[in-house]
Amino acid sequence: MQMTGNTILVTGGTSGIGRALAEAFHDRGNRVVITGRRQSLLDEITAARPGMAGLPLDLDDPASLPGLAVEVRARYPGLNVLIANAGISLAEDLASDDWNASAAQSLVETNIMGVLRVVAAFLPTLKHRPNAAVMATSSNLAFVPRADFATYCASKAFLHSWLQSLRHQLRKFPVEVLELAPPYVQTELTGAQQAVDPRAMPVAAYAAEVMQLLERQEHARGEVLVERDKARRWAERDGRYEATFAAMNPG
Protein backbone atom coordinates (compact mmCIF):
# COMPACT_ATOMS: atom_id res chain seq x y z
CA MET A 1 0.00 0.00 0.00
CA GLN A 2 1.43 3.36 -0.97
CA MET A 3 1.46 5.92 1.83
CA THR A 4 0.91 9.16 -0.11
CA GLY A 5 -1.10 10.27 -3.12
CA ASN A 6 -4.16 8.19 -2.27
CA THR A 7 -7.82 9.06 -2.11
CA ILE A 8 -9.01 7.19 1.00
CA LEU A 9 -12.49 6.52 2.36
CA VAL A 10 -12.61 5.64 6.07
CA THR A 11 -15.88 4.34 7.49
CA GLY A 12 -16.24 4.82 11.24
CA GLY A 13 -13.77 7.68 10.91
CA THR A 14 -15.12 9.95 13.64
CA SER A 15 -13.64 8.21 16.66
CA GLY A 16 -11.07 5.73 17.92
CA ILE A 17 -8.85 3.85 15.51
CA GLY A 18 -10.71 5.03 12.41
CA ARG A 19 -10.23 8.68 13.29
CA ALA A 20 -6.59 8.19 14.26
CA LEU A 21 -5.78 6.47 10.96
CA ALA A 22 -7.74 9.03 8.94
CA GLU A 23 -5.79 11.86 10.55
CA ALA A 24 -2.48 10.06 10.11
CA PHE A 25 -3.09 9.47 6.40
CA HIS A 26 -4.30 13.05 5.94
CA ASP A 27 -1.17 14.38 7.60
CA ARG A 28 0.88 12.45 5.03
CA GLY A 29 -0.75 14.28 2.15
CA ASN A 30 -3.52 11.89 1.21
CA ARG A 31 -7.02 12.99 0.28
CA VAL A 32 -9.16 11.53 3.07
CA VAL A 33 -12.94 11.21 3.34
CA ILE A 34 -14.41 10.05 6.64
CA THR A 35 -17.90 8.81 7.37
CA GLY A 36 -19.96 8.71 10.54
CA ARG A 37 -23.47 9.12 11.85
CA ARG A 38 -23.15 12.56 13.46
CA GLN A 39 -22.79 15.50 11.09
CA SER A 40 -21.65 17.79 13.92
CA LEU A 41 -18.71 15.51 14.66
CA LEU A 42 -17.84 15.19 10.98
CA ASP A 43 -17.80 18.98 10.75
CA GLU A 44 -15.64 19.35 13.85
CA ILE A 45 -13.01 16.86 12.68
CA THR A 46 -12.77 18.11 9.11
CA ALA A 47 -12.61 21.76 10.21
CA ALA A 48 -9.46 20.94 12.17
CA ARG A 49 -7.82 19.42 9.06
CA PRO A 50 -8.42 21.46 5.91
CA GLY A 51 -8.84 19.23 2.89
CA MET A 52 -10.36 16.34 4.83
CA ALA A 53 -14.00 15.72 3.96
CA GLY A 54 -16.82 14.17 5.97
CA LEU A 55 -19.91 12.40 4.68
CA PRO A 56 -22.77 10.98 6.76
CA LEU A 57 -23.25 7.21 6.81
CA ASP A 58 -25.60 5.18 8.97
CA LEU A 59 -25.13 1.48 8.28
CA ASP A 60 -28.46 0.79 10.00
CA ASP A 61 -30.24 2.85 7.32
CA PRO A 62 -30.65 0.78 4.11
CA ALA A 63 -30.67 3.93 1.95
CA SER A 64 -27.58 5.49 3.47
CA LEU A 65 -24.85 3.40 1.83
CA PRO A 66 -26.14 3.49 -1.77
CA GLY A 67 -26.44 7.26 -1.48
CA LEU A 68 -22.91 7.53 -0.14
CA ALA A 69 -21.54 5.35 -2.94
CA VAL A 70 -23.12 7.55 -5.60
CA GLU A 71 -21.77 10.72 -3.97
CA VAL A 72 -18.27 9.33 -3.53
CA ARG A 73 -18.05 8.16 -7.14
CA ALA A 74 -19.17 11.59 -8.34
CA ARG A 75 -17.01 13.72 -6.04
CA TYR A 76 -13.97 11.48 -5.58
CA PRO A 77 -13.46 9.50 -8.81
CA GLY A 78 -9.84 8.82 -7.82
CA LEU A 79 -10.83 6.73 -4.80
CA ASN A 80 -8.31 3.91 -4.48
CA VAL A 81 -8.27 2.95 -0.77
CA LEU A 82 -11.14 1.79 1.43
CA ILE A 83 -10.68 1.43 5.19
CA ALA A 84 -13.73 -0.42 6.55
CA ASN A 85 -13.51 0.33 10.24
CA ALA A 86 -17.02 0.84 11.60
CA GLY A 87 -17.98 -1.59 14.35
CA ILE A 88 -19.70 -2.02 17.70
CA SER A 89 -19.07 -4.18 20.77
CA LEU A 90 -21.59 -5.58 23.24
CA ALA A 91 -21.22 -7.97 26.17
CA GLU A 92 -23.63 -10.91 26.37
CA ASP A 93 -24.61 -13.28 29.15
CA LEU A 94 -25.49 -16.37 27.16
CA ALA A 95 -26.28 -18.34 30.33
CA SER A 96 -29.01 -15.92 31.40
CA ASP A 97 -32.64 -16.92 30.97
CA ASP A 98 -33.18 -13.40 29.61
CA TRP A 99 -30.61 -13.72 26.84
CA ASN A 100 -31.95 -13.53 23.32
CA ALA A 101 -30.37 -12.98 19.92
CA SER A 102 -31.14 -9.26 19.59
CA ALA A 103 -27.66 -8.09 20.63
CA ALA A 104 -26.08 -10.74 18.44
CA GLN A 105 -28.16 -9.60 15.49
CA SER A 106 -27.01 -5.99 15.95
CA LEU A 107 -23.39 -7.11 16.08
CA VAL A 108 -23.71 -9.24 12.97
CA GLU A 109 -25.46 -6.45 11.06
CA THR A 110 -22.81 -3.84 11.87
CA ASN A 111 -19.58 -5.81 12.24
CA ILE A 112 -20.14 -8.34 9.47
CA MET A 113 -22.79 -7.14 7.06
CA GLY A 114 -21.73 -3.52 7.46
CA VAL A 115 -18.22 -4.37 6.28
CA LEU A 116 -19.42 -6.64 3.47
CA ARG A 117 -21.88 -4.05 2.18
CA VAL A 118 -19.28 -1.28 2.21
CA VAL A 119 -16.76 -3.45 0.37
CA ALA A 120 -19.43 -4.52 -2.14
CA ALA A 121 -20.35 -0.88 -2.78
CA PHE A 122 -16.82 0.22 -3.65
CA LEU A 123 -14.97 -2.88 -4.86
CA PRO A 124 -16.12 -2.54 -8.50
CA THR A 125 -14.39 0.85 -8.57
CA LEU A 126 -11.30 -0.20 -6.64
CA LYS A 127 -10.62 -3.17 -8.93
CA HIS A 128 -9.83 -0.74 -11.74
CA ARG A 129 -7.76 1.78 -9.79
CA PRO A 130 -3.95 1.74 -9.57
CA ASN A 131 -2.42 1.13 -6.14
CA ALA A 132 -5.78 0.08 -4.72
CA ALA A 133 -6.27 -1.36 -1.26
CA VAL A 134 -9.03 -2.58 1.04
CA MET A 135 -8.23 -2.60 4.74
CA ALA A 136 -10.74 -3.84 7.31
CA THR A 137 -10.60 -3.86 11.09
CA SER A 138 -11.06 -7.20 12.79
CA SER A 139 -9.69 -7.72 16.31
CA ASN A 140 -7.06 -9.55 18.30
CA LEU A 141 -10.07 -11.27 19.89
CA ALA A 142 -10.67 -13.08 16.60
CA PHE A 143 -7.83 -15.41 17.60
CA VAL A 144 -8.59 -15.98 21.29
CA PRO A 145 -12.06 -14.80 22.39
CA ARG A 146 -13.27 -13.14 25.54
CA ALA A 147 -16.26 -15.30 26.38
CA ASP A 148 -18.36 -12.42 27.72
CA PHE A 149 -18.17 -10.77 24.26
CA ALA A 150 -19.13 -13.95 22.42
CA THR A 151 -20.75 -12.61 19.26
CA TYR A 152 -18.37 -9.67 18.99
CA CYS A 153 -15.36 -12.00 18.97
CA ALA A 154 -17.08 -14.36 16.54
CA SER A 155 -17.88 -11.47 14.19
CA LYS A 156 -14.20 -10.55 14.09
CA ALA A 157 -13.19 -14.18 13.49
CA PHE A 158 -15.62 -14.15 10.57
CA LEU A 159 -13.88 -11.10 9.12
CA HIS A 160 -10.47 -12.70 9.55
CA SER A 161 -11.60 -15.70 7.52
CA TRP A 162 -13.57 -13.68 4.97
CA LEU A 163 -10.65 -11.34 4.26
CA GLN A 164 -8.44 -14.33 3.46
CA SER A 165 -10.98 -15.46 0.88
CA LEU A 166 -11.32 -11.95 -0.53
CA ARG A 167 -7.54 -11.67 -0.81
CA HIS A 168 -7.36 -14.96 -2.69
CA GLN A 169 -10.21 -14.11 -5.06
CA LEU A 170 -8.66 -10.72 -5.88
CA ARG A 171 -5.19 -12.16 -6.49
CA LYS A 172 -5.42 -11.31 -10.22
CA PHE A 173 -6.48 -7.72 -9.53
CA PRO A 174 -4.20 -4.89 -8.34
CA VAL A 175 -6.06 -4.63 -5.02
CA GLU A 176 -4.17 -5.24 -1.77
CA VAL A 177 -6.36 -6.72 0.98
CA LEU A 178 -5.17 -5.92 4.49
CA GLU A 179 -6.48 -6.82 7.94
CA LEU A 180 -6.04 -4.82 11.13
CA ALA A 181 -6.38 -6.98 14.24
CA PRO A 182 -6.01 -4.44 17.08
CA PRO A 183 -5.24 -5.38 20.67
CA TYR A 184 -7.03 -3.67 23.56
CA VAL A 185 -6.81 0.02 22.61
CA GLN A 186 -7.90 3.17 24.47
CA THR A 187 -11.10 3.84 22.53
CA GLU A 188 -14.73 4.04 23.63
CA LEU A 189 -15.66 0.79 21.88
CA THR A 190 -16.95 -0.80 25.10
CA GLY A 191 -17.62 2.47 26.94
CA ALA A 192 -15.91 5.54 28.32
CA GLN A 193 -13.86 3.52 30.82
CA GLN A 194 -11.92 1.80 28.02
CA ALA A 195 -10.63 5.15 26.74
CA VAL A 196 -8.75 5.76 30.00
CA ASP A 197 -7.89 2.17 30.96
CA PRO A 198 -4.12 2.07 31.60
CA ARG A 199 -4.06 -1.59 30.47
CA ALA A 200 -5.11 -0.52 26.98
CA MET A 201 -2.72 0.70 24.29
CA PRO A 202 -3.02 4.45 23.61
CA VAL A 203 -4.79 4.95 20.30
CA ALA A 204 -2.14 7.37 19.02
CA ALA A 205 0.60 4.81 19.72
CA TYR A 206 -1.40 2.11 17.96
CA ALA A 207 -1.99 4.26 14.88
CA ALA A 208 1.68 5.26 14.76
CA GLU A 209 2.84 1.63 14.88
CA VAL A 210 0.33 0.65 12.18
CA MET A 211 1.58 3.44 9.92
CA GLN A 212 5.16 2.27 10.41
CA LEU A 213 4.24 -1.31 9.51
CA LEU A 214 2.39 -0.15 6.40
CA GLU A 215 5.27 2.06 5.32
CA ARG A 216 7.75 -0.79 5.74
CA GLN A 217 5.32 -3.26 4.16
CA GLU A 218 5.68 -5.48 7.21
CA HIS A 219 2.39 -7.30 6.96
CA ALA A 220 2.90 -10.94 6.04
CA ARG A 221 -0.26 -12.64 4.74
CA GLY A 222 -1.87 -9.19 4.61
CA GLU A 223 -2.16 -9.03 8.42
CA VAL A 224 -1.07 -5.74 9.97
CA LEU A 225 -0.05 -6.91 13.44
CA VAL A 226 1.49 -4.59 16.01
CA GLU A 227 3.78 -6.15 18.61
CA ARG A 228 0.95 -6.51 21.15
CA ASP A 229 -1.09 -8.51 18.64
CA LYS A 230 1.37 -11.33 18.20
CA ALA A 231 0.95 -13.32 21.43
CA ARG A 232 -2.75 -14.01 20.79
CA ARG A 233 -2.35 -14.33 17.04
CA TRP A 234 0.06 -17.24 17.46
CA ALA A 235 -1.21 -18.70 20.74
CA GLU A 236 -2.68 -21.80 19.11
CA ARG A 237 0.33 -22.38 16.85
CA ASP A 238 2.70 -22.08 19.80
CA GLY A 239 0.70 -24.37 22.11
CA ARG A 240 -0.43 -21.55 24.38
CA TYR A 241 -4.10 -21.36 23.41
CA GLU A 242 -5.61 -23.04 26.48
CA ALA A 243 -3.47 -21.02 28.89
CA THR A 244 -4.22 -17.78 27.05
CA PHE A 245 -7.94 -18.48 26.97
CA ALA A 246 -7.94 -19.30 30.71
CA ALA A 247 -6.07 -16.11 31.54
CA MET A 248 -8.55 -14.04 29.55
CA ASN A 249 -11.59 -15.88 30.92
CA PRO A 250 -10.94 -16.70 34.58
CA GLY A 251 -13.32 -18.96 36.48
Q: Supply the residues annotated as catalytic.
A: 152
Beta strands 175-180 and 7-11: pairing type?
Answer: unpaired
Residue count of the chain:
251
| Biggest CA-to-CA distance, the chain | 55
Count other Cβ atoms within 10 Å, centred on residue 217. 10
Q: How many helices (H) and strands (E) does the chain have?
A: 9, 7
DSSP 146-198: -GGGHHHHHHHHHHHHHHHHHHHHTTTTTEEEEEE---SBSSSSS-GGGGG-T
Cβ-count burial 190-213 (b if 16+ within 10 Å, e if not)? beeebbeeeebbebeebbebbbeb
- What is the helix (H) or strand (E) element at residue 204, kind and residue range? helix 203-216
